[in-house]
Amino acid sequence: DAKTTQPPSMDCAEGRAANLPCNHSTISGNEYVYWYRQIHSQGPQYIIHGLKNNETNEMASLIITEDRKSSTLILPHATLRDTAVYYCIVRGEGGSQGNLIFGKGTKLSVKP
Is 41 a binding residue for another protein by CB under 8 A? The answer is yes
On the CB side of 94, how many CA atoms lie within 13 Å of its CA? 4
Among 3, 5, 21, 32, indicate the residue that binds another protein (CB under 8 A).
32
Dist. CA 21–CA 90, nearest whole Å = 14
C-beta separation of 34 from 45 below 8 A? no
Q: What is the DSSP letter of 82?
A: G
**CB-based contact 97:86 (threshold 8 Å):** no
Residue closer to another protein (CB basis): 11 or 93: 93
Strand order in the sheet with 106-111: 9-13, 106-111, 84-92, 31-38, 45-50
Residue selected from 29, 40, 81, 99 as contacting another protein according to rule CB under 8 A: 99
Is the Cβ of residue 47 or residue 78 nearer to another protein in the bound state?
Answer: 47
Q: Which stretch binds another protein (CB under 8 A): 8-16, 17-25, 41-49, 75-83?
A: 41-49
Contact window for another protein (CB under 8 A) among 4-12, 32-40, 67-75, 76-84: 32-40
Q: Residue 21 interacts with another protein (CB under 8 A)?
A: no
> Residues interacting with another protein, by CB under 8 A?
32, 34, 38, 41-46, 49, 87, 93-95, 97-104
